[in-house]
Structure 1
Amino acid sequence: MKKHIYCLILAIALLGCAPIERDYLALHRKALVADMHSDTVLRMKNGTDISLRGDEGHMDIPRLQEGGVDLQVFACWINTDTERDSCRPKIDLLIDTLEAAADRHSEAMAICRTAGDAESAIASGKIAAVLGIENGVAIAGDLDNIKHYYERGVRYMTLTHTASSEWVTSSADTAPAFDGLTDFGRDVVRTMNELGMIVDISHASVEAVEQVLKVATAPLIASHSGVHAIYEHDRNLTDEQIKAVAANGGVIGVIFYNGYISTEFADLADSLWGLHRAEFDSLKALYADNDSLYRVARKPLRDSIYAQLEGIVDVGTVVDHIDYIVKLVGPDYVGLGSDYDGVPSMPSGLDDCSMMPNLTKELIVRGYSDEDIGKILGGNFMRVFKQVCGG
């Protein structure tokens, strides 16, 4: 008798759970899902075929399709230290790389310059690929380069990266040479606004963000940032900055990278890196003239460190950051900015882009409405994309 009762209870429980399981996948597929930042085009330049489902990296076309990602921003990144003298050819090469992939796989992906382009591509079952630039060093101090990149299809530019340039300060700069933004930097923002290119403040210093917001006449984004109140990292936005972005009508793409969203992860990572610092320094000295070989040589040691950090951060941590922003300014100013293929460690359950539906599942668990989930997954970014770049 007890066995029959147990089976009945189990059956009822399974029946009760099944609609929830179906609902989150159905809702995810129904929503427009937009990821505001990935570095996958760098892997493509190095030979990765994104038409094939890979075991390495975080993103390719099959995994984007599995994850229900409708719009993906592909960031063209410039290294401030080593590429500032060849930035325009480097950016052009990365754009060429994405264009060639889109041409080869036109049945699955299309490069989109406006929100209208994106909506048409998505309606035809394709991934809407949007071009971005990460690091304003790419313009080489010449406003005409902004126009050149715009004509090539770039629709947002992250003003800086982990080092300040001559016209904008980085959040990582502890001793900046000037206060946030120069007059030329203000002209950069104005030129982007006039052209219809979205200004991205991720990586920018507090002072730079404040000054950009004073100059900007269009909504801006923080394409891949977290919440400073949850983890006090310079890459994360303070409450005041979050409120200012909301007042501007912009969107904050919450980053997934473990090292920017979890204090526990960061503290343990720092400890482990410290234990192996001498080994890394030795490898760095050994391969001082060849950074590529250094990266290969250090990989086993890096992998062993990150293996010890697995499981500390999960999908819920990302949603904690989303939750915080929603509670502070409402559901209209937050989105997704994974940084897939740009960082070494992702939360459990968001290991690659195929797992994006887990975000929707967690948002349902947290009590979010279908409407608000739709805004967070991509609706908010599409609003800004349409306002700045056209419909």
Structure 2
Amino acid sequence: MKGRFPLSSCALFISALFASHSAFAETSIYSASEKAIKIAQETIIVDGHIDVPYRVKEKWVDVTKATEGGDFDYPRAVSGGLNAPFMSIYVPASLDNSPESTQLAHELIDSVEAIVARAPDKFAIAKSPSDVKSQFEKGLISMPMGMENGSPIQGDLANLTAFYERGIRYITLAHSQANHISDSSYDLRRKWKGLSPFGKTLVGEMNNIGIMLDISHVSDDAFYQVIELTKVPVIASHSSLRRFTPGFERNMDDEMIKKLGENGGVIMINFGSSFVSKEAGKWRSGLTAARKALVEKEGEDSPKLENFEENYRKEVPYPYSTLDEVLDHIDHVVKLIGVDHVGIGSDYDGVGDSLPIGLKDVASFPNLVQGLLDRGYSRTDIEKILSGNLLRVWQQVEDYAKEHAEGYTENHVASH
């Protein structure tokens, strides 16, 4: 039997049990067949972006056991077959280029190490594709790490090395504001008109050390500059498609996706409803406008602001996207550049109560597999989407760094 969880009647029961406790599962039109569950259990599933570290910082919970809230814990991961979630080392944009940003990043890495230390029979840090594969065979859930927002680098390549040594294997260059590396898709100031001078240097240094470049969150200009400079494929760890969310620059448009394909990279689809459908984005804009109107009318001290979003949702129900709409994003990438360039970057624990019907938590991956089967994807292609494509890019980045290091050593010896 291939894989981490031998599939038995017990495994099927556990999967069904936890699926029944997922939000909206009782009313969901989605259900996974035994075949879909089997594929999910027997295949490495890499999720490019899960915000567990910041979740447990804000309010500590023990995710090595079942938890009441959130989108991730060990039992649900086992149920869904998730076995290589990238833990997001997220640093807020407000801390850019400061000692505080670097300290927070190290603290969040500490928290991932603490999760593994509490349950070494369940989890293990993964620093390479080979780690993921060997830990999968041992029945462990791998925890590779990606840094969301390059602010903790502080313009110092020694910090880049330190974070690499601690296990950071991708860096999202910016977040919600321009930082000392790159412009952000959310920041209209366009401080650097793409990458900063240091950011352009950092692209090469990340190539050389073996850290994947993540272009989620950056501006369009920054994306194209990264593509021009990088020597290896890049990833979008948690982005979806602008075709379905017109005007939302945080997502990628068709021309960018084509460039990503030429680069050999992978776009990992974000599940958040506002990333998936334009209706959810419009709802969020309506909420913001309504809140602004209330503040203008009654001031920042209005008691109506305390539960404003909750009350707004009662009057204007949130238009949750669906698993089918997530699949539309995957289909479109495949149509544009092929099945070798799409993956999963759910943003679980990072997008709040905006997850699609059918994909409410990490126990839902069999539903995704079922959807892919229903749309005619082969098992080989499903395995590429679930992990193969990301592991390929990660291996290419690792191989390039190794070749660079060997070449540097040979040249250094020859010059002396």
Aligned match of 2:44:
32
1:244 and 2:276 correspond: no
**SS of the residue 1:199 aligns to:** strand
Contact 2:97 2:179 in 1 (8 A): no
Aligned match of 2:61:
48
C-alpha displacement of 1:284: 9.2
Distance 1:281 1:149 in 2: 45
Distance 2:147 2:299 in 1: 29
**SS of the residue 2:339 aligns to:** coil
Contact 1:273 1:305 in 2 (8 A): no
Structure 1 residues 293-322: Cα deviation after superposition (integer angstroms, max 9, x where no partner): x9xx96743344456545631111111101
Distance 1:283 1:203 in 2: 34
1:235 and 2:250 correspond: yes
- Write out aligned runs for 1:141-220 (5 A): 141-220=155-234
**Cα–Cα, structure 1 residues 284 and 373, in superposed 2: closer, same or farther, change >3 Å?**
farther
1:76 and 2:84 correspond: no
Aligned match of 1:62:
75
Structure 1 residues 44-90: Cα deviation after superposition (integer angstroms, max 9, x where no partner): 22412111212211111111111110111001111121464211111
**Cα–Cα, structure 1 residues 59 and 202, in superposed 2: closer, same or farther, change >3 Å?**
same
C-alpha displacement of 1:281: 7.7
The residue type paired with residue 36 of structure 2 is Y
Aligned match of 2:389:
380
Distance 1:208 1:107 in 2: 41
The residue type paired with residue 283 of structure 2 is L
Aligned match of 1:349:
358
**SS of the residue 1:26 aligns to:** helix
1:331 and 2:331 correspond: no
Aligned match of 2:238:
224
Distance 2:365 2:140 in 1: 17
Contact 1:259 1:265 in 2 (8 A): yes
**SS of the residue 1:229 aligns to:** helix
**Cα–Cα, structure 1 residues 82 and 168, in superposed 2: closer, same or farther, change >3 Å?**
closer
Pick one of 294, 304, 327 that aligns with 1:319.
327
1:364 and 2:378 correspond: no
Contact 1:36 1:223 in 2 (8 A): yes
**Cα–Cα, structure 1 residues 279 and 340, in superposed 2: closer, same or farther, change >3 Å?**
farther
Aligned match of 1:6:
none
Structure 1 residues 225-263: Cα deviation after superposition (integer angstroms, max 9, x where no partner): 011112121111111111111111111100001111111
Distance 1:278 1:252 in 2: 37
Structure 1 residues 93-146: Cα deviation after superposition (integer angstroms, max 9, x where no partner): 000111011011110110010111111111101111001100011211212111
Distance 1:178 1:197 in 2: 23
- Write out aligned runs for 1:235-314 (5 A): 235-279=250-294, 285-286=300-301, 300-306=307-313, 308-310=316-318, 312-314=320-322
The residue type paired with residue 56 of structure 1 is G
**Cα–Cα, structure 1 residues 361 and 298, in superposed 2: closer, same or farther, change >3 Å?**
farther
C-alpha displacement of 1:26: 1.3
Structure 1 residues 267-314: Cα deviation after superposition (integer angstroms, max 9, x where no partner): 233224433434578999459xxxxxx9xx967433444565456311
The residue type paired with residue 44 of structure 2 is L
Structure 2 unmatched ranges of 5 or more: 1-31, 403-416
Contact 1:113 1:389 in 2 (8 A): no
C-alpha displacement of 1:378: 1.2
Aligned match of 2:104:
90
**Over the residues paired in the alignment, what is the CA RMSD in angstroms?**
2.3
Contact 1:190 1:215 in 2 (8 A): yes
Distance 1:341 1:146 in 2: 26
Which stretch shifts more, 370-379 or 327-336? 370-379
C-alpha displacement of 1:219: 1.2
**SS of the residue 1:224 aligns to:** coil
The residue type paired with residue 51 of structure 1 is T
The residue type paired with residue 21 of structure 1 is S
**SS of the residue 1:332 aligns to:** helix
Aligned residues: 365
Structure 1 unmatched ranges of 5 or more: 1-19, 288-293
- Overall identity of the aligned pairs, in %: 35
Distance 1:337 1:172 in 2: 19
C-alpha displacement of 1:329: 0.5
Distance 1:41 1:282 in 2: 38
C-alpha displacement of 1:154: 0.6
Contact 1:70 1:128 in 2 (8 A): yes
**SS of the residue 2:89 aligns to:** strand
Contact 2:320 2:355 in 1 (8 A): no
Contact 1:331 1:372 in 2 (8 A): yes
Aligned match of 1:14:
none
Contact 1:226 1:261 in 2 (8 A): yes
The residue type paired with residue 365 of structure 1 is D
**SS of the residue 2:93 aligns to:** coil
Aligned match of 1:13:
none
**Cα–Cα, structure 1 residues 298 and 246, in superposed 2: closer, same or farther, change >3 Å?**
farther
Which stretch shifts more, 135-144 or 331-340? 135-144
Distance 1:38 1:124 in 2: 22
The residue type paired with residue 247 of structure 1 is E
The residue type paired with residue 82 of structure 2 is V
**Cα–Cα, structure 1 residues 142 and 306, in superposed 2: closer, same or farther, change >3 Å?**
farther
